[in-house]
A = this chain, B = another copy of it.
C-alpha cells in the first residue's frame, strides 16, 4: 500500500489540491464547513499524511535540528539531550544526534551533512570545536547555539549559552576551607581543552581569594574518565604532607579518585575530601555520595533548544542580528564525600 498524495485526496474529496493544502495548513478562514469536512474525510479514509520532504522543498524548513556532542557515552550528556529533546519534540522538531567521538573531522563531516539536509539549526555541545567548523555553519546561514564556548569571530545567526562555573567552584572552595582544609589538589582535565583550563584557573583563583597561593596547590592532569582519577591517586597521596582535599574537573574523575584512594587504604572523607563537577546521576548513588558542583544539565539542554527556536526566524535576515547570549548558573551540592580533615600527625598542636 503506497502512500497517498495530495492529488488523490483532492480527487476523493472532489476539490482542488489547493483546498486540501489549505485545510491541512489550517488556512480555513474563508472556507465552507462542508468543504472542509469533505477534505478531512478523504484524508481519513486514505490515511493521508503529507510528505515532509515535499514540504521542506518549498518551505525551506525541515523541522529538524542537529545536535553535535562529543560522546553519548559521557554521562554528562544524557540529561542535556533529554532537555533538548523535550523542547524540540514539543515544538515538532526532530533531532539528529551527531557524536563526534572527540574528532574534529567527524564534526566537520556532520556539519556538511546537516547543511545538505537543510536542518533548521544546530546545537553545538562538543568540548573541542574548530572555529573553521563554526565559520562553516555561519557561512551557510545556519542558526547555531553554542554551549560553553566562546564566541568565534565568525558572523552569523548565533547564540551562546555560557556556564558560570565560577559561582559553584567558589562555593566548593568556601565549603572546603570552612571545613578546615588547607592543603589542596586539583585533578584537571586535558589542559589543551579550554574548559579544563577554565576550571583549573577558577579553582586556583578561588583558593587565592582564601589566602592559599597557587604554588601550594598540587595540579594533576587526567582524561576526564574514571581511570584518569584513579591514576592520579598515587601522586596525590605521596609526599610528607599530602593534600586533604581534592577538586576534580568532573565527577567521573572524582569517583576514580575516591575508589582509587580507598583501594590504597585511605578512608573517606576523613583522610581525603573529594569534590567533583557535573552532578551526574551516579554522583548521588555511590557511597559515599559525591559532593559536587552541579550543572543544571537538563536546563542547559532545554534553554539551548529554546534559544535556537528563538533564533530560527532570524535566519532569513542577513547579518545585523544581535548575538544572543545567556549565562546559566552552577552551585555546590554537599553530600558525603567531603568532611573535616583529620588532624595530620605531623601538625598536631
Contact = CB atoms under 8 A, between A and B. Distances in A.
Contacts of A89: 106, 109
A334 interface: no
A263 B285 contact: no
B281 A259 contact: no
A284 B322 CA distance: 49
Contacts of A262: 287
Contacts of A347: none
A50 B116 contact: yes
A64 B117 contact: yes
Given A81-B97, A96-B97, A3 B140 contact: yes
A286 interface: yes
Nearest to A318: B1
B57 A1 contact: no
A54 B57 contact: yes
Interface residues of A, number: 56
A113 interface: yes
Interface string A259-271: 1001100000000
Contact of A117 (B94, B112, B256, B282): B94
Nearest to A93: B113
A103 to B, nearest CB: 11
Copy number in the complex reads 2
A162 to B, nearest CB: 24
Contacts of A114: 94
Interface string A72-114: 1101011101100100010000111111010000100100111
Nearest to A258: B287
A116 B57 CA distance: 14
Contacts of A53: 53, 56-57, 62, 117-118
B259 A52 contact: no
Interface of A: 1-3, 49-54, 56-57, 62, 64, 67, 71-73, 75, 77-79, 81-82, 85, 89, 94-99, 101, 106, 109, 112-118, 139-141, 226-227, 230, 256, 259, 262-263, 281-282, 285-287
13 contacts: A1-B139, A53-B53, A53-B56, A72-B78, A73-B281, A82-B101, A85-B97, A94-B98, A94-B113, A94-B114, A95-B96, A226-B285, A262-B287
Q: Which 9 A-B pairs have the closest CB atoms?
A: A97-B97, A73-B78, A72-B78, A52-B116, A226-B285, A52-B117, A53-B56, A72-B81, A53-B57
Given A50-B116, A54-B57, 9 more contacts: A49-B116, A53-B53, A71-B78, A72-B78, A72-B81, A73-B79, A95-B97, A226-B282, A227-B285
